[in-house]
Amino acid sequence: MEGRPLEDAELVDRAGRGDVSAYEELVRRHQRVAVRVAFLVGGSAAEAEDAAQEAFVKAFRALPRFRAGAPFRPWLLAIVANEARNRRRAAGRRDRLAARFAAVEGEDRPRGDAAPSPEEAVLAGEDREALLRALSTMRPEDRLVIAYRYFLELPEAETAAALGWPRGTVKSRLSRALGRLREALGKNDVSEVEGADHG
């Protein structure tokens, strides 16, 4: 690269004129979030990388239709999320994020990740299980908006793009999803403390 890193927009422009090297730089910049979105949507670690790769190839082909000057990442994530969803359906898989959550407990820690941080250890035991259980009962869209915002910390524009929602609706839908998460957590209480009055 030259003296300063190029902006995404410049790389997109070059890639749109057929510069594959410029596009490779875009891939490197966004592959991590792309694979993670694919994983959250598709529920399969094995498929996530393939889905992200395919999405990058499709996005490249679609670059001539990309609006110049628009941010690249939301657009890319919309394609990634669609690709992952299509693959999940084609494979006849259900939304397996719930199952993945349920399995987190027994999984090996992901390679490359550090040991649990002290903060992580704070969320242990019952709270953690209750959250996982509550999330697994929620609708895929609710779960995804929560996962995008809190697990991946995606900005609203990217969350909206990945979900195919109008940008302005993310805040209110997230708020409703959190409300339903609270309800689900409350139900967990009821099932465990039978007969308790939770008003």
Partner 1 sequence: MDSRLARGPDEDLERALRELGRSVPFPPDRDLSGPVGARLRAEGPPRGSVVRMPLGLRPARTLRRAVILAAALLVLAAGIAVAGRLGLPGVRVIFSKTPPTLPPTASPSPPQGSPTPGAPGSALGLGERVTLQQARSSVGFPVRVPSLAGLGAPDLVYRSYDLPGGRVSLVYTPRPGFPAAVDGVGLLVTQFHGQAERTLLEKMAGPGTKVRGVRVHGYPGLWFSGAPHEILYLGPGGRIEQDTIRLSGDALIWQEGGVILRLEGAPNLAEALRVANSMG
Q: Is 185 in the site for partner 1 (CB under 8 A)?
A: yes
- CA angle, 41 as apex, 35 and 46 as ends, to 5°? 50
197 belongs to the binding site for partner 1 (CB under 8 A):
no
Question: Shortest distance, CB of residue 2 to partner 1, whole angstroms?
Answer: 18
Between CA 112 and CA 89 the distance in angstroms is 30
Q: Where in 114-143 is the site for partner 1 (CB under 8 A)?
A: 116-117, 119-120, 122-123, 126-128, 130-132, 134, 139-140
Radius of gyration of the chain (CA): 19
- Pick the binder of partner 1 from 6, 8, 13, 49 (CB under 8 A): 49
Q: Does 14 bind partner 1 (CB under 8 A)?
A: no
Restricted to residues 72-91, the positions that interact with partner 1 (CB under 8 A) are 75, 78-79, 82-83, 85-87, 89-91
Q: Distance (Å, rounded) from C-alpha 45 to C-alpha 30?
A: 17
Q: Is the dihedral of CA 103, 108, 109, 115 positive or negative?
A: positive
